[in-house]
Structure 1
């Protein structure tokens, strides 16, 4: 096992605040195997900040999202509840929605005509009413756990269990009641627009970059207009990284005093008097990601005030994309392994990388003990689906014929 940890770059590292600390190795930013492990260990298990309830004002309103290959739908039902489901028809896996957003009375699959209520229950399966053994109640859309925090932000957890293994409070208790949110009147804001940037970089490069301002004096000429770089700091807490720019009095007076917080694993929230915006780092592959942004405007702010802060951040985000693109290109080349991070100025990336490391190693060790891959988000089959279990086991064994990987037991229920 020791040789494996060395291969992964998980040898012991100093954690002395007076010493530089080696970053995760480049292989963690290029490996397909690592990407798949992150899908299982992180994106299938952890709570993901997704949007704000302001985007779903009316019954029937829905939004489609994707993260790390998992596509899902958020919808407001007739009772005012916000539900989430995998965007997968239970019949033959065609998406139940193919647009980015909409308003619907039902979800109707355009493949074979199966339809579902806004609560996910199967409403109609043409021809199946003639089958005695078919149970509609067991063929609704695959549900996803939803949590709405004290400020109205919507979180999802893809764990297929009746209750997620990780409770929202385990990672984020109190993070929605930080002092920076005490005086924010969320109802004064309205959704304004989305935008995105796709790039050739691993999602973790985006998070590393976001969570330090060591690069700000070199790269972001706009930052001094909204923050005092000489006093810039980050605080790590539970599942978050709290950025403190300590804006100057004249910046506060102009409404240029943003408060930014990163929520592990892949989202951030920046709040200012004139707008707030959410940023999601969406993995597409080991070396491709999309930065997706949702921008909300204070309805009491002038066009000038809103556009000033909005354009500042669009420039900053574009500058970050440039950094991430070229960094990934060098990581792909196979020369650079890793560098040494500053224990204070790069505290954020160090905390983020340690969290990633701990989660994937823990999950990998669980898989080794179970002698199979563990996909928390995967559909749970009924106990009667014995033929499906055997088929799954047979398919899994094919990739192990010429390797040392262990075969899953024949009774596995994915």
Structure 2
């Protein structure tokens, strides 16, 4: 059962209540989140350049479903439920591969990369079988920022994917003021210089809440607050008087690196007000986008259970930077190390918080200070999404 989120401050104080502890520990709540949030919204699942040629595919988990993402010969990137339409066996039984067709290993039902059924034992003796109807069940796909985004909304049940422009791009407008501002970074043309996967023993919402506020920054992020001193004041907002302003580097800081030393080649098209600035965007439900003048860091979260979340973090640089790294001519370890430490520090805090979510002392939840108002907005959004499902 979900206890209603309260919007009113605690009487006699400036503190606002949080969600209850049960929201972070209940398997029933997690199941509802999977159904009403992750299986109905756009999820960023993988880099498009990780499947560069026709026939290459990867499997990903979204909500409670396993999905095949494949580059086709005729239709670009497509996505399907990893379920054979004959008896339901998984068509792809490993994490990635390259094939001319997709074939189930149980009864050899075979599908074109574009999804239709093309072969099966004795199929020619069953001319009434509609090969489109019995093709792989497709999933909505968009490409943006060089990543593949999918949405599992079920057209057979009358569901349509939410507007990508209003939901995903709308989050960008909130933080950048205009989608064109993020276009200055040319993210779709960048290459991945480093990728790290973190297995975090914490609920996905704790990770989002941590990312949305900087009240903790002075306590656990010494390297980050050295590079961006204003974070030590506990304010994470990138807006001042309604204007987007980003977070400025310290006066003596030369780059977005673990020791403030020079970074790598900056992006050629960033605007003057994006130089020596860091911006951060949360794209609900599972993406963080961080931009600096010479790198973009993108987190993707994949909730596994009410108390476990896989986070994949990519560090993106100009192609020529990555080429020099691959050739052993350039070292980006100081650029990567800054946010790697931030990740480790944040995830440890989340893991130390998760056990308390089941404590009787946190049964009614905790408190938010005024600078954490973004979390309160996230809680309101979460409550509307989850309770809308429970009312069905």
Tell me the TM-score range normalised by the shorter chain: 0.7 to 0.9
Tell me, in whole angstroms, the C-alpha distance in 2 between the residues paired with 1:249 and 1:153: 34
Tell me, in whole angstroms, the C-alpha distance in 2 between the residues paired with 1:104 and 1:278: 29
Indicate if the aligned counterparts of 1:275 and 1:310 stay in contact, CA closer than 8 A. no
Q: Which runs of 5+ in 1 are unaligned?
A: 1-6, 237-241, 368-414
Structure 2 counterpart of 1:62, from 47, 57, 62: 57
1:230 Cα deviation (Å)? Answer: 4.9
- Distance 1:51-1:244 versus aligned 2 partners, 3 A rule: farther
1:80 Cα deviation (Å)? Answer: 5.3
Structure-to-structure mapping, 1:180-219, within 5 angstroms: 180-186=181-187, 189-219=190-220
- Match of residue 391 from structure 1: none
Tell me, in whole angstroms, the C-alpha distance in 1 between the residues paired with 2:125 and 2:213: 61
- Match of residue 277 from structure 1: 297
* TM-score between the two structures when normalised by the length of structure 2: 0.81
Structure 2 counterpart of 1:164, from 160, 163, 174: 160
Indicate if the aligned counterparts of 2:280 and 2:288 stay in contact, CA closer than 8 A. yes
Deviates more, 1:299-308 or 1:63-72: 299-308
- Match of residue 246 from structure 1: 248
Deviates more, 1:156-165 or 1:138-147: 156-165
Structure 1 counterpart of 2:120, from 109, 122, 125: 125
Tell me, in whole angstroms, the C-alpha distance in 2 between the residues paired with 1:209 and 1:76: 35
- Match of residue 390 from structure 2: 364
Structure-to-structure mapping, 1:346-361, within 5 angstroms: 346-361=372-387
Structure 1 counterpart of 2:367, from 336, 340, 346: 340
1:10 maps to 2:30: no
* Matched residue SS, 2:362: coil
* Matched residue SS, 2:222: coil
Structure 1 counterpart of 2:309, from 289, 304, 310: 289
Deviates more, 1:211-220 or 1:325-334: 325-334
Tell me, in whole angstroms, the C-alpha distance in 1 between the residues paired with 2:62 and 2:227: 31
- Match of residue 261 from structure 1: 281
Count of paired positions: 352
Q: Which runs of 5+ in 2 are unaligned?
A: 256-261, 264-275
- Distance 1:187-1:286 versus aligned 2 partners, 3 A rule: closer
Q: Describe the superposition over 1:125-171 as per-residue Cα deviations: whole angstroms up to 9, x where unpaired.
A: 2234323543222111111111223x343221100117625221231
Q: Describe the superposition over 1:6-61 as per-residue Cα deviations: whole angstroms up to 9, x where unpaired.
A: x6221542169x83210000101111111111112111211112234333332222
Tell me, in whole angstroms, the C-alpha distance in 2 between the residues paired with 1:97 and 1:319: 36
Deviates more, 1:215-224 or 1:104-113: 104-113
CA RMSD of aligned residues (A): 2.7
Indicate if the aligned counterparts of 2:5 and 2:379 stay in contact, CA closer than 8 A. no
Tell me, in whole angstroms, the C-alpha distance in 1 between the residues paired with 2:303 and 2:180: 31
* TM-score between the two structures when normalised by the length of structure 1: 0.77
Structure 1 counterpart of 2:333, from 292, 295, 307: 307
- Distance 1:75-1:197 versus aligned 2 partners, 3 A rule: same
Q: Describe the superposition over 1:277-298 as per-residue Cα deviations: whole angstroms up to 9, x where unpaired.
A: 3212211111222112233332
Tell me, in whole angstroms, the C-alpha distance in 2 between the residues paired with 1:68 and 1:183: 32
Tell me, in whole angstroms, the C-alpha distance in 2 between the residues paired with 1:130 and 1:114: 14
Tell me, in whole angstroms, the C-alpha distance in 2 between the residues paired with 1:322 and 1:82: 36
Tell me, in whole angstroms, the C-alpha distance in 1 between the residues paired with 2:184 and 2:63: 35
Deviates more, 1:166-175 or 1:226-235: 226-235
Structure 1 counterpart of 2:148, from 154, 163, 169: 154
